[in-house]
Amino acid sequence: MKISNTNKWNTLDCFVKISSPWLTLIGEHLQDDRGKVIDYWRVEKADSVVILTIQSGNFLFPIPMYRPGLGENTLDFPGGRVPSGQKPVAIVPKILERELGITAAAIAHLTPLNTTGWAINSSFSNQKLYGFVAEIDSNVLISDQLLGAVYPTTELGISNLLQDLTCLQCRSVLLEWQYQSR
């Protein structure tokens, strides 16, 4: 189904723009489809990649990392930002090597869960999320110093995993994989 774009808003001006390596914060005056002018804030960020790493019927997780927004370490699938000018699929091997010590040769099969990216928060940010499934060769050993957790890919394993995952992006990619695997 095609969604109509007849209620377009107009950007009147940008009254502030603050840039950092992580994000750009933009304040704009927008005129809505009824003629009302509002102050609107949004963030531009690089797209993200989340990778479900599966080996021999188990999800593999890197060591939990500190998340400043939560003030604690969290369990997350491997992931990261897509550098400007690069394709999401191209950074998957780099992320897996950084987070789990897995070389590109260890990836037996790489499957994208989406090819256009999902909007993470379309009213506030331009950022998209790309999900991948990386099946790791069963003969590849992951260092205990890099492996944070292992969960079976069974219904019970996924149920337990959903109790432990706080990252909505990780949960979304996991549930999309589960849905597509039916």
Which tens digits make up the pLDDT trace of 142-163? 999 999 999 999 999 999 999 9
Give ranges for CATH 3.90.79.10 in the chain. Answer: 48-180
pLDDT at 2: 66
Give percent of the chain with pLDDT exceeding 70.
97
Q: What is the average pLDDT across 38-63? A: 97
Looking at every residue in the chain, the average pLDDT score rounds to 94
The pair of structure tokens assigned to 33 is 């489809």
Residue 127: C-alpha distances to residues 6, 23, 35, 82, 89 (Å)? 23, 10, 27, 10, 16
Domain covering 48-180: architecture: Alpha-Beta Complex (3.90)
**How far apart, in whole angstroms, are the C-alpha atoms of residue 149 and residue 28?**
43
Identify the three-state secondary structure at position 132: strand
Q: What is the pLDDT of residues 92-121, one digit of tens each?
A: 999 999 999 999 999 999 999 999 999 999
Residue with the two structure tokens 């489809």: 33
Ranges of beta strands (E only) in 20-71 are 24-31, 37-44, 48-55, 58-62, 65-67
